[in-house]
């Protein structure tokens, strides 16, 4: 997939949603890096699926857009169509729920997702876990202090989701990479 009009539009909207925000770090990097990485991961495994790549770039916009310029699923559907909005909805969390409930629901959803939704969720996790690994590898204890509920609790949630992917779609092309980076993260437990 090339730099299409839809992909350009998705990048502009994602940039608006993440403007001025930083990823939890160290290091402190612009939040827009994550959705762009997710889009690139998806372009690698499904290079001809423009809707999936666009959804990857937009996957956090509903959760992360500021209140004064909220991006809604309805707006995404109007701009990009039902398929893109549906994929974004499949990974969007209700931020009013507790962290624990959001993580449990995220795992439960995997059992209901179609292949593109699972790829989107895997790409999101892969980007997050790679960033986490790089942070822990470079900053050690300072990076571990980011986890208010504890690094081990967060790792249990990732383990549950990886197990769900393995149960539902063991041939998922992103699963080997996900297992690899998760395995490398275990050394920090």
Q: Which residues have a catalytic role annotated?
A: 63-64
Q: How far is residue 121's CA from residue 90's CA, in Å, rounded to a whole number? A: 8
Cβ(35)–Cβ(65) under 8 Å?
A: no
Q: Locate all alpha helices (DSSP H) within the chain, ordered by sequence.
A: 5-18, 33-45, 50-58, 61-64, 73-80, 82-91, 99-110, 115-139, 141-144, 151-168, 175-185
Q: How far is residue 110's CA from residue 28's CA, in Å, rounded to a whole number? A: 30
């Amino acid at each position: 997939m090339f730099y299409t009009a839809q992909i350009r539009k998705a990048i502009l909207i994602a940039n608006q949603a993440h403007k001025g925000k930083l990823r939890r770090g160290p290091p402190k990097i612009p939040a827009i890096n994550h959705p762009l990485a997710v889009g690139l991961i998806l372009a690698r495994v499904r290079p001809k699926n423009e809707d999936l790549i666009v959804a990857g770039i937009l996957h956090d916009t509903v959760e992360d857009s500021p209140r004064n310029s909220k991006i809604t699923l309805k707006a995404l559907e109007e701009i990009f169509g039902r398929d893109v909005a549906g994929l974004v909805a499949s990974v969007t969390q209700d931020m009013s729920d507790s962290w624990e409930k959001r993580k449990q629901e995220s795992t439960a959803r995997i059992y209901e997702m179609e292949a593109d939704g699972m790829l989107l969720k895997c790409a999101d996790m892969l980007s997050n876990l790679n960033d986490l690994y790089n942070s822990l590898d470079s900053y050690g204890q300072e990076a571990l202090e980011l986890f208010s509920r504890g690094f081990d609790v967060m790792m249990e949630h990732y383990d549950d989701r990886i197990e769900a992917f393995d149960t539902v779609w063991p041939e998922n092309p992103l699963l080997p990479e996900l297992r690899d980076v998760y395995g490398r993260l275990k050394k920090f437990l």
